[in-house]
Amino acid sequence: MAIACIEDYRGAARRRLPRFLFDYIDGGSYAETTMRANVADLERLSLRQRVMRDVSGAQLETRMLGRSVSMPVALAPIGLAGLYARRGEVQAARVAEAAGVPFILSASACCGLEEVAPAVQAPLLFQLYMIKDRAFMAALLDRARAAGVETLVMTVDLIIHSPRYRDMRSTLTGRQTVLDRLRRMIEIARHPGWAWDVGVRGRPHILGNFAPAMPGGAGLAQFTDWVSRNFDPSITWDDLAWVRERWKGPLVLKGILDPDDARLACEAGASAIVVSNHGGRQLDGAPSTISALRPVVEAVEGKLEVLMDGGIRSGVDVLRALASGASGVLLGRAWAFALAAGGGASVSHMLELLRHELAVAMALTGYSRIADIGPEALLRTERAAS
C-alpha cells in the first residue's frame, strides 16, 4: 500500500514491529486520555480559508532554536529509536540534516553521542534529564560539549515514570516470567524483517549515553532499574543553577504546560521552552498541548521562544500550532512511526509529506511566509477558545 500520510506510517510500523515495541511508541499513560486529546484538540481548530491573496512565492524557511531551518519543524528526542530501525538515531540525524531541520538526540538513545555526532556535520541538540548522580550528569555534559552539542534540551516533566498499561501488558516494563520471555521470542519470530535488520544487524542493543553508568550492562532491563533509582523527584527551579554553571550554551526546557511555570522558566534563564505533556505519557488528565499553548505564549510576553509538541500528525497541524503562537513544533511519534516502517528513507519521505501539506495549508489560508502566520489564521471562535 502506498504511504500518503503520517497515519499510514503508523499502520506500517504496527505491521513491522514486534507488538511490545509498537505499543511502546504508540501508547500513553493510564487511560491515554491526554494522549488522545493532543490529536483531537488540534483537529477541532478550524482554519480561515482565504482566496485571491497571491501566494505564488511561498517560503517555509524560518528560524528555530537559534538556527535557520527549512521549515518550523524539529525531530523530538525519542528513546530507544535504535530498536525501531538499525542504528536508528544515526539514520534520523542524517535525514534531519539533509532536510534542513534540527534533530534532538535523546539521552535514552541506543546510539550515543560519540556515535551520532560524527555521522553529521551540523551541531547536535541533546536532551537530558535531571538525575541524582550529579557526577555522572556532569560527565555527560562534558561528553555533550566534546561531541559538539550547542543546545541542551532539559526534559523537566519526567521526574518519575507514570505507569503505561500497554507496556505493563506487553511486559516491556515490570517483571518477566519464563512464559513472558517465550511469548516475546515468538513475537519477534513473527516479524523476521525487524528481527534480521535490528535484532541481528542492529547490535549492540544498549543505551549508549548511559552505558558508562552501567558497567554490568546497558540493556533495557538495566536501564529501567537505573532510571528508577536515579531520576530525581526532589528537583526544584534552584537546581537549574547547577546546570547553568556547567552549561553555558542555549538551554531549552521541555515539559512546560502552566503559565506560571513558563514565567519561572524565563526567570531561570531558559533560551526557549517546549509546551509538552510528554506525548500524553506522563500525567493523564493534563491538558492537551494545543490548549495549553496560547496561555503560555501570553505569559512569557515574547521573552523567549515557545515551541510545541504533542499530536502533530500533518502539515495542517503545524499551521494550527503556528497560528496558536508556537514558533515551531517538535515531531515525536511521527518520525518514530516512519523510522520503524522503513528506516531513514521513510523519515525523509515523511518530512516531504509534511512540507507539502504545510505549503498547501499556507496557500489556502492566504500565507506565503511563516513569519506572517498568526491567530488570524484561525476562525474567531477558535481564536477565543485558544
Could you give the count of Cα atoms lying within 13 Å of 210 in the half-sphere of its Cβ? 30
Do the beta carbons of residue 282 and residue 162 sit within 8 Å? yes
Catalytic option among 161, 191, 205, 278: 278
C-alpha–C-alpha distance, residues 268 and 21, integer Å: 37
CA distances (Å), 140 to each of 53, 178, 208, 297, 370, in order?
51, 36, 11, 32, 36
Q: Which residues pair with 131 in a beta bridge?
A: 231
356 annotated active-site: no
Closest C-alpha among 83, 349, 129 to residue 239: 129
Q: First-to-last CA distance in the chain?
A: 37
Do the beta carbons of residue 101 and residue 334 sit within 8 Å? no
C-alpha–C-alpha distance, residues 211 and 207, integer Å: 6
C-alpha–C-alpha distance, residues 58 and 289, integer Å: 28
Closest C-alpha among 11, 30, 332 to residue 168: 30
Catalytic sites, residue numbers:
278
